[in-house]
Amino acid sequence: MHHIGLINPLYVVSGLAVGLLVGLTGVGGGSLMTPLLILLFGVHPSTAVGTDLLYAAVTKTVGTGVHGFNRNIEWRIVFRLAAGSVPATVATIIALHFIGATGKRESALIALVLGVALVITAVTLLLKAWIVRLAVRRNPDFGLNSSVWLTIVTGIVLGVLVSISSVGAGALGTTALMFLYPRLPTAKIIGSDIAHAVPLTLVAGLGHWWLGNINLLLLMSLLLGSVPGIVAGSYGTRFVPDAVLRPLLAAVLLLVAVKLLT
């Protein structure tokens, strides 16, 4: 396991930057923090995934409080997603326990899944508006009574992906919700997605703790920055245009994916 010393200011600043982004867009917890830990700080992939999951659970709990206070959460959607994601997460963690998640082959698998997930995330970020428009044009009633089962299946897919790579709860979750519930305001989509990420990342993070993939000092350093970051970002959603943030974020994710996959 990569040794981390005492509280490191670089980790605090990284936590602050990612927390701010998560608060603003609902995206960036796993898709930016995990690659950052692996590529920039040399943390072992399984430790980076595990630590990031608990980091995301705490960060997004704070974000959920802010979005809940602003009435930006549709709890029925959160419960539907969690009905799929929590059992899928438990099953994936048990599978990782039997496969093992610390060898070279497993590290390469994590990097591969992470890279592919980042490409999918970046593409969905760029095409989000087009996907939703297409869905509504083909079926004008789409999203008025979205299937409960479609939402649960989305939760299952997110549970598996997030447990292996820590990526997907944000960008893939918000895109899926925009597709399933296109008439919901963007603020409610982001709020509901952040609220659903709490049980998902908490269960996955505790599972990785059980697997021995958590670095507590690293976790504390990241949280020192991310908690104030997500509060500021959650309140700032109304001031920063989505049209500016989304392409910028997609470009960063594609660059990171290329680095991971090559």
> How far apart (Å, rounded) are the C-alpha atoms in residues 44 and 247?
29
CB 93 within 8 A of CB 62: no
Helix, strand counts (H, E) of the chain: 10, 0
Q: Is residue 4 part of a domain?
A: no
- For residue 158, the surrounding DSSP H or E stretch is helix 148-165
Polymer length of the chain = 262
Helix 216-236, helix 45-69: angle, nearest 10: 30
Q: Is residue 170 part of a domain?
A: yes
Contacts for 199 with CB less than 8 Å, ≥ 6 apart:
82, 85, 86
- Mean pLDDT, 10 residues at a time, the chain of 262 residues: 65 91 74 86 90 90 87 93 97 87 69 82 79 67 68 94 82 80 80 92 95 92 91 77 75 80 78
What pLDDT sits at residue 4? 47
Domain residues for 69?
9-261
CB-count exposure of residue 149 (10 Å: 0-12, 13-18, 19+): exposed
Q: Is residue 2 part of a domain?
A: no
What pLDDT sits at residue 142? 57
Q: Is residue 1 part of a domain?
A: no
Contacts for 78 with CB less than 8 Å, ≥ 6 apart:
192, 195, 196
Torsion angles phi and psi, residue 252, rounded to 5? -65, -45
Handedness of CA 89, 166, 117, 170 (dihedral sign): positive
CB 154 within 8 A of CB 102: no
> How far apart (Å, rounded) are the C-alpha atoms in residues 68 and 235?
12
CB 183 within 8 A of CB 112: no
- Structurally, the chain folds into a number of domains equal to 1
Q: Is residue 224 part of a domain?
A: yes
Q: Is residue 3 part of a domain?
A: no
